[in-house]
Amino acid sequence: MSTRVYLAVDLGAESGRVMAAVFANGKITLEEMARFRTGGVLLPDGWHWDLLRIYADIRTGMASAVATHGDEVVSVAVDTWGVDYGLLDEGGHLLGLPWMYRDARTDGMMKVAAETVKAEELYRRTGIQPMFFNTVYQLLAETRQHLTVVKAAARLAFIPDLLTYWLSGERTVERTIASTSGLLKAGTAEWDTELAAMLGIPPAILPSVSEPCTMAGHLRGEDGSPGKIEVVLCGSHDTASAVAGVPSAGKNPLFLSSGTWSLLGRELDAPLVTAATATAKFSNEQGLAGTTRFLKNVAGMWLLQECKRNWEAGGEKLEYESIVAKAAGTATDVFIDPDAPEFSRPCDMPAVITAWLEKSGQAAPSTRAGLTRVIFESLALKYRVLLRRMKEWMPDFPDTLHVVGGGSRNALLNQMTADASGLRVLAGPSEATALGNVVAQMIARGDLASLAEGRALIRDSFEIGEFTPRDTAAWDAKAVRFEKLLSES
């Protein structure tokens, strides 16, 4: 088979990339064609994504890829974070910059929704963990604060759908990203229009849902005419692509997609919606090949990202590798709940963590390394709690956890996770999201027959790190105190 190049546009909450995946001689190699910031802008009415700049950066990166690889570039697909959206009018024009999911306009919306539909009923219908930033609560806020915009809207488009539309001219809403909204019926491609109407969200703005691993159209040139490069619908929620990029040889793998968020869970054949999973706040998002991503959102590297942002506020430049190395050389005996609401918004994170520790009767570390160690140990212990809860529901529970994403390069946290959980940890690839994006493109084009075949290709193309549990008794002792802290906080 001749060399083919697939472009993965992979956008996270902190940064975005255009990656060229070169398929030759039965293996994939990745080349970064562009990297850019994806952060938002604070406007008078709140925080928005600077999506026009992001789109310009995407086109620049794609142009660089075409300049490098020419006619070998065959397709492109876009994946991004979940829940956020834009509203389009009848002509396809964007009605304002999309809101950022951490904007405060959703404050109180969960309570407002519960006056009409209890959280338990929302979960039963959609399988999605109620969280303040879910699309359903964002739209609820919009109908109360910006009703004129909602009335002018003809359809909703999630962030990757918007970018796919601008690239191809085709208006689609892809299934995996739609499943993050809290408005799609669990395990289906059907909107819960009754639920939307009950909450005052116009059902008419919810368009039909398209499947991943299908064609959207062709890349438009500057004059709007279609070109040769195909635009594909991948698992356009970045976690869907990350899980597709898990290099598991077996069925229904455990996964931890480690980035700004830690998405911890297991790929299942069908949703798992019970009273116990509702209480534990696990979500049933959708994946490639009809799978369910049964998972729990944990704060993840957001905590360290916010610490780093504050530490650099005075002009100092810090590297994550150095921060992690210093944390490896220190010790701590205190913990936080990574998912405490105090940590959910942009803030002076070092000060907020210190205040949380002191409020819980613990002595806060006085160094950056100490605070970093607190974050990592608390994350590892939170993973342990959630994994053990999952094991209660799954008699065939695996003995291996696949860690993918940028956090898979963090050997310190990987070892902590193995020690705390008692599971073997296989770490990598760090670019699982881009690779899962590419696998979807290859399936859509007929270059791969299945998701399993794509995972085998990833295993053959990239090295995977291995971490085995050690010193588990010490972590058992930590876990007792950590779980007591969770129960009291």
> Under DSSP, is residue 16 helix (H, G, I), strand (E, B) or coil?
strand
226: preceding bond cis by omega (within 30 degrees): no
429: preceding bond cis by omega (within 30 degrees): yes
Instruction: Give how far Cα 436 sits from Cα of 1, 288, 452, Å.
Output: 21, 9, 11
For 278, how many CA atoms within 13 A lie in the half-sphere containing its CB? 14
* Measured distance CA(351)–CA(366) in Å, rounded: 11
Angle at 65 between CA 78 and CA 450, to 5 degrees: 45
Q: In a 10 Å sphere around its CB, with 0-12 CB exposed, 13-18 middle and 19+ buried, how is residue 176 labelled?
A: buried
Task: Report residue 469 as tokens.
Answer: 């549990």
Alpha-carbon 283 to chain mean position = 13
Contact of 126 with 182, CB cutoff 8 Å: yes
Please, where are the H alpha helices in 100-232?
A: 109-114, 119-126, 135-145, 147-152, 159-168, 175-178, 193-198
DSSP 161: H
107 annotated active-site: no
The neighbour count for residue 27, using CB atoms within 10 Å, is: 12
Alpha carbon distance, N-terminus to C-terminus of the chain: 58
Give me the count of residues in the chain. 489
> Under DSSP, is residue 315 helix (H, G, I), strand (E, B) or coil?
coil
Instruction: Give how far Cα 445 sits from Cα of 73, 75, 124, 438, 467, Å.
Output: 13, 9, 36, 11, 36
> Under DSSP, is residue 332 helix (H, G, I), strand (E, B) or coil?
coil
Q: In a 10 Å sphere around its CB, with 0-12 CB exposed, 13-18 middle and 19+ buried, how is residue 484 labelled?
A: exposed
* Measured distance CA(375)–CA(335) in Å, rounded: 8
Task: Kindly report the backbone phi and psi dihedral angles of residue 4, in degrees, each rounded to the nearest multiple of 5, phi listed first.
Answer: -130, 145
Contacts of 473 (CB under 8 A, 6+ apart): none
Q: Find the catalytic residue in 10, 79, 84, 238.
A: 238
Task: Kindly report the backbone phi and psi dihedral angles of residue 251, in degrees, each rounded to the nearest multiple of 5, phi listed first.
Answer: -90, 150
Q: Any idea which residues carry the catalytic annotation?
A: 238
